[in-house]
């Protein structure tokens, strides 16, 4: 029997999954933690793609020139960022800064 794909609305992402995509935090609640551990990477990537716009908007407003955990884990990037390289440098090199960040950078 084929299992139906659960559709998750952009506004309907549970808090524990939102926190995972923002910070990579695994919840203390064991049921929520198991949900993340047992979830296939393909499903995590699908959920990221569905919710990425809202997550990035929220994140960049509070942490410009950086990106949340989900971005680094689930985006199709040209290469993996060396953890010693500042996020801003990587984002600039691959033209991944938002227009607002580019404007902000000019005003610094």
User: DSSP code of 96?
Assistant: -
Residue 23 in any domain: the answer is yes
Q: Is 105 helix (H, G, I), strand (E, B) or coil?
A: helix
- pTM score > 0.85 for this model? no
Confidence of residue 105 (pLDDT cuts 50, 70, 90): confident
Residue 28 in any domain: the answer is yes
Residue 6 in any domain: the answer is no
Residue 1 in any domain: the answer is no
Q: Give yes or no for a contact between 21 and 51, defined as CB atoms under 8 angstroms apart.
A: yes
Structure confidence at residue 2 (pLDDT):
42
Residue 8 in any domain: the answer is no
User: CA-to-CA distance for 18 and 83, rounded, in angstroms?
Assistant: 23
Residue 5 in any domain: the answer is no
Q: Which domain holds residue 51?
A: 13-106
* 23-71 tens-digit pLDDT: 999 999 999 999 999 999 999 999 999 999 999 999 999 999 999 999 9
The count of structural domains within the chain is: 1
Nearest partner of 8 among 31, 33, 37, 35, judged by Cα = 35
Structure confidence at residue 8 (pLDDT):
37
Residue 3 in any domain: the answer is no
Answer with the residue of higher pLDDT: 20 or 3. 20
């Amino acid at each position: 029997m084929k299992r139906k794909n659960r559709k998750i609305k952009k506004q309907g992402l549970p808090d524990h999954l939102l926190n995972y995509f923002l910070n990579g935090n695994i919840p203390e609640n064991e049921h929520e933690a198991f949900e993340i551990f047992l979830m296939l990477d393909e499903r995590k990537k699908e959920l990221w793609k569905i919710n990425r716009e809202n997550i990035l908007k929220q994140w960049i407003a509070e942490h410009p020139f950086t990106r949340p955990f989900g971005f680094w884990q689930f985006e199709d990037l040209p290469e993996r960022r060396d953890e010693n390289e500042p996020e801003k440098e990587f984002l600039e090199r691959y033209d991944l800064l938002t227009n607002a960040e580019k404007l902000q950078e000019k005003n610094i």
